[in-house]
Amino acid sequence: MSATVTVPRLAESISEAVLVEWLREDGALVRADEPVAVLETDKAAVEIAAPESGVIRHRRQAGDHVKVGDVLAALEPAPAGAADAIAPPPAVPAASQSRKAARVAAPAPQPPKAAALAATPAPSPPSDGGLAPTLSPAVRRLIEENQLSPGTITGSGPGGRILKEDVLRHLEDGAPPPSPAAASPAEARTAPAPAAPSPADGGPEPDERVVPMSRIRQRIAERLVRAQHTAAILTTFNEVDLSGVLELRARHKESFEKRHGVRLGFMSFFTRAVVLALEEVPEINAEIRGTDIVYRRRVHMGVAVGTERGLVVPVVRDAHRMGFAGIEKEIERLAGKAREATLTLDELSGGTFTISNGGVYGSLLSTPILNPPQSGILGMHKIEKRPVVVNDQVVIRPMMYVALSYDHRLVDGEQAVTFLVRVKERLEDPGRMMLDV
């Protein structure tokens, strides 16, 4: 009896997704645990793996809306003599001494018929290097846009997986553009049609460009509108003198990175300051559930990350139990997965408070929107030197505006202002965070 590839349980409050891409073509031989399809929910793109080896038969098409439990494909037993074709590829020695973790992934196995064809000389390697199943959607898109061969790129991810930064590094190293004469017959058959005449060639210039909204963008729009309609959102502002944070960071960043293997950024200071402030004002870490107020004892910190697919908010779980190094390591891990579109749904769910840093884009001041059902979100902004009065003297200090948006149904103005002042106090005297005072 053949096995099936089904839509797994996605995450809390998510019951449907869109099948955005098949990673293996219909009728291909696949290995157990090999990614075969990509589902996109309102929170992330998720790779779906085959539960066992066999021949995949698609039951749904790319673009279909699917629900938890739906059958995406069937897995038929592999034909006799094809066992070797679906065996796991052998490990390959490290390709570079300068990056010990970097390994070149072996080509994906081919069916016997395809292997016979591959034995004949070809003008060039396959355009995808046989590695398509090991690439994330973002990496695959970048490789296709630049017409690269994955086999020429050294992967630094687990098991030699090619990451987005590996492709960018390959391009920076001066990878030569593909020559038309070197294109393989398969590439020639699948080459795109000639582009329409550009305005410079006398062609008409289009007045507009229409593209469908992604599932994530649709969901972001829905959630933002719902937040505006269901919560009584109010924002309070303050400004923070970051002289102490900058001085402490400059003094210890090298030894911090040497000891912990991660950079000392600003997010750990802000996360720790927020955690301590939430202990004093627990209403901002609570939520309204029906006619009840649910107070949480744990802090799961959402950290907004901008990606090419839109804004995602991975969650640093149990941030209240972490020190600076633990916070920085977890944020770095989650941000890397966000850029590669490999975040799991569990890593995107269950946040109790959110920090959003618009300063990385140059924002000086903004009013962040709540991430329901949370009751608070802190907006960070650009650090800018400004004249301020200190001890009746005008001095130049690195200042940042901070904004707290909160649900006024649950949080009173006094509590919101108190929370923001506590955050300000700890950032202006970061030694307090080391002593938990």
Q: Active site residue: 26, 64, 412, 436, which one?
A: 412
Tell me the whole-structure pTM to 2 decimals. 0.63
The residues, ordered by sequence, that sit 6+ positions from 369 with a Cβ below 8 Å of its Cβ are 224, 227, 228, 233, 377, 405
Q: Active site residue: 346, 408, 429, 436, which one?
A: 408
Sequence spans of domains, the chain: 1-88, 90-181, 216-435
The CATH number of the domain covering residues in 90-181: 4.10.320.10
Residue range 174-215, pLDDT digits in tens: 655 444 444 444 444 445 555 555 555 556 778 888 888 776
Q: What whole-number distance in Å separates Cα of residue 159 and Cα of residue 91?
A: 8
Q: Which of 167-181, 312-326, 381-395 is predicted with the least confidence, judged by mean pLDDT? A: 167-181
Residue 106 — pLDDT band, cuts 50, 70, 90?
very low
Could you tell me which residue, 90 or 259, shows the higher pLDDT?
A: 259
pLDDT at 333 over 50: yes
Regarding the domain delimited by 216-435, which CATH topology (the fold level of the hierarchy) does it fall under? Chloramphenicol Acetyltransferase (3.30.559)
Query: Would residue 408 show up in a list of annotated catalytic residues for this protein?
Result: yes
Distance of CA 83 to the CA centre of its chain: 36
Pairing of strands 54-58, 71-76: antiparallel
Could you tell me which residue, 163 or 47, shows the higher pLDDT?
A: 47
Q: Considering the domain 1-88, what is its CATH architecture?
A: Beta Barrel (2.40)
Fold agreement (1-88, 90-181): no
Query: Would residue 346 show up in a list of annotated catalytic residues for this protein?
Result: no
Provide φ and ψ at 436, rounded to 5°: 55, 45
Quickly tell me which residue has 């070797």 as its tokens.
Answer: 84
Question: Residue 385 in 3-state DSSP?
Answer: strand
Instruction: Judge contact between 319 and 275, C-beta under 8 A.
Output: yes
In this prediction, residue 326 carries a pLDDT of 95
Could you tell me which residue, 200 or 421, shows the higher pLDDT?
A: 421
